[in-house]
Amino acid sequence: MYCRYCYGQGHNKRGCPKLKEFVANNPTSYLADHLKRRCSYCGEEGHNRTSCEKYKESLRQQRIELLERRTDFCQKLANLGIMPGTLMRAEFYESSNRNWRYHVSVVKEVDWERIGMRISNGIQVTSCVTGETVGNNLPNEYGQYAVLSPMPVDKAYLYNKAEMEKTNEKALAAYSGKGKNTRRRRGS
């Protein structure tokens, strides 16, 4: 490892003793101002984003809210009897006549990774008319999406809970840093 300030070996610019000595002797210099560590999350000096306690707390809170949202969604699906194989009436866009039409559809899967803080259209349905697969929302009080053949509530709950927990394990690993590291380092 080479220093980009003094070109010495065994340390980098941040740990350079010559640079630290220069900054101590010239506290108003550009280098002294430039080398102050500032967090890109909270804006405070003395740490960066990876060691920011506010950022870590925010991630913990997001994880808790995500798990609560998925648990609520799982219960809603169970109460409606929705799981793969359920028949629903779902809205599809027909490009040939530029119109939205309702088709009898089969729930293909519940994509738990799409069930997050803002997105709730993780139900993948396939039209029995065209074979097209789209993401759909939960059936609502306006009757846009209707469950035509609900599954037993306990069976739907157990199935959806098991699938949700698999996805939650992946999410927890990603938040805790135990998952696959997607950040690329220089020179690799």
Looking at residue 87, what is its pLDDT? 85
Phi, psi of 18 (to 5 degrees): -70, -40
In one-letter notation, the amino acid at residue 73 is: F
Looking at residue 24, what is its pLDDT? 87
Looking at residue 145, what is its pLDDT? 65
Helix runs in 13-107, H state only: 17-25, 30-34, 53-80
Looking at residue 54, what is its pLDDT? 93
Phi, psi of 82 (to 5 degrees): -100, 125
The SS3 assignment for 72 reads helix
pLDDT higher than 80, residue 107:
yes
Higher pLDDT, 12 or 173: 12
The Cα 151–Cα 85 span in angstroms is 8
> Residues of the chain with pLDDT > 90: what percent?
6
What is the dihedral angle through the alpha carbons of 181, 135, 153, 168, rounded to the nearest 10 degrees? 10
Q: Which residue has the tokens 């709950």?
A: 157
The Cα 105–Cα 125 span in angstroms is 6
First to last CA, the chain: 15
C-beta of residue 73 within 8 angstroms of C-beta of residue 115 = yes
pLDDT higher than 70, residue 82:
yes
